[in-house]
Amino acid sequence: MAAAAGEVRLIGAWPSPFVLRPRVALNLKGVEYEFLQEKFGEKSELLLRSNPVYKKIPVLLHHDKPVCESMIIVEYVDGVWANSGQAILPADPYERALHRFWSVYIDDKWFPSIFGIGKAETEEAKAESAEQAWAGLKLLEEAFEKLSKGKAFFGGDTIGYVDIALGAYLRWANVIEQMTGLKLFDEEKTPLLAVWAESFCAHEAVKEVMPETEKLLEIAKMRQEK
């Protein structure tokens, strides 16, 4: 569904996994939008005005009305353009609750563990964070088996809510792997997620907006030096 010029705008920055989420959702729905890039280390007047509480990206502007927080934006896109593309959240209330639960788990529990690997100053701390990350992936492997019902994605035949929540972190997980030498999405430990990760990155709605690992690695090294 084509949107009128200026109808849909997204404030964000290409390296952000949180910004990637609404970009994938908009692509899944076929919604045209203007991407307003924030400069690294700066906050535009538009961002501060649009998200005065958290002052963070991403922010979706739909008819100049702001919607904040990445997964809230994904759900908003799914609702507003319900008749375009595939549904991102399942119709069944219990299934919807499960998808929301696992997306919260990914942000609250799993991502901090892989972030902890990169921040660890000792081998002991790195090993502890890695164990937490692998334990989390084992839980997500079980969740995938249940939610996917034997199909390619958490959402079944196509990308859904949990796919977007977890998939947005894949390239940053690759960065952690390259910086630490640890393998996160391991074919032996989590074979279903290893295949899923490849399918997600290759999807038409994802591959054009998914950042390159090498470019993210440059940013990570720059931040580490600072």
What are the pLDDT digits (tens) for 106-148? Answer: 999 999 998 888 888 888 988 899 999 999 999 999 999 999 9
Segment 151-168 shows an average pLDDT of 98
Cα separation, 143 vs 121, in Å, equals 32
Cα separation, 90 vs 38, in Å, equals 33
Reported as half-sphere exposure (CB side, CA atoms, 13 A), residue 38 has a value of 22
Look up the pTM and report it.
Answer: 0.95
CATH fold for domain 93-225? Glutathione S-transferase Yfyf (Class Pi); Chain A, domain 2 (1.20.1050)
User: pLDDT-derived band of residue 226, with 50, 70 and 90 as boundaries?
Assistant: low
- HSE-CB at 125 with a 13 A cutoff on CA atoms is 8
Check if 8-80 and 93-225 are the same fold. no
Measured between alpha carbons, how far is 103 from 181 in angstroms, rounded to an integer?
Answer: 27
Out of 2.120.10.30, 3.60.20.40, 3.40.30.10, 3.30.70.360, which CATH number does the structure's domain 8-80 have?
3.40.30.10
Q: With left for phi above 0 and alpha for psi between -120 and 50, is residue 196 left, alpha or beta?
A: alpha
Residue 113's CB is within 10 A of a number of other CB atoms, namely: 19
pLDDT at 167 over 90: yes
Residue spans per domain, the chain: 8-80, 93-225
d(CA 203, CA 196): 11
Continuous segment of H or E residues that includes residue 162: helix 161-167
Residue from 45, 10, 31, 16 nearest 171 by CA: 16
